[in-house]
Amino acid sequence: MAKKAAKKKDRDVLVVASKVREYIKSKKCNTSGEFIGELSNTVYGVIDKAINRAQGNNRKTVQAKDA
């Protein structure tokens, strides 16, 4: 199900689902089936914002300061 949420925009999942679930479990919580896809969509948004900032500064290299 995790891929379905990310697929709504025909995108690959950018996060390692097993690592995310493992981290959440270490905090004594559970992961819903939709969470990984939505987290991946959020990551896409952060990356797109960083790309736009780099391009706005006439750079092709996305840097840490763009995040």
For the cut 90, the answer to whether the pLDDT of residue 7 exceeds it is no
Sign of the torsion formed by the C-alpha atoms of 9, 60, 14 and 40: negative
Tokens linked to 30: 């559970």
Q: What is the tens place of the pLDDT at every residue in 23-47?
A: 999 999 999 999 999 999 999 999 9
Q: Taking a C-beta distance cutoff of 8 angstroms, is the pair 32, 1 a contact?
A: no
Across all residues in the chain, what is the average pLDDT? Answer: 90
Domain regions of the chain by residue span: 2-66
For the cut 50, the answer to whether the pLDDT of residue 18 exceeds it is yes
pLDDT attached to residue 10: 79
Q: Identity (one letter) of the amino acid at 40?
A: S
pLDDT attached to residue 8: 56
Q: Taking a C-beta distance cutoff of 8 angstroms, is the pair 31, 20 a contact?
A: yes
For the cut 70, the answer to whether the pLDDT of residue 5 exceeds it is no
Distance CA 13, CA 9 (A): 11
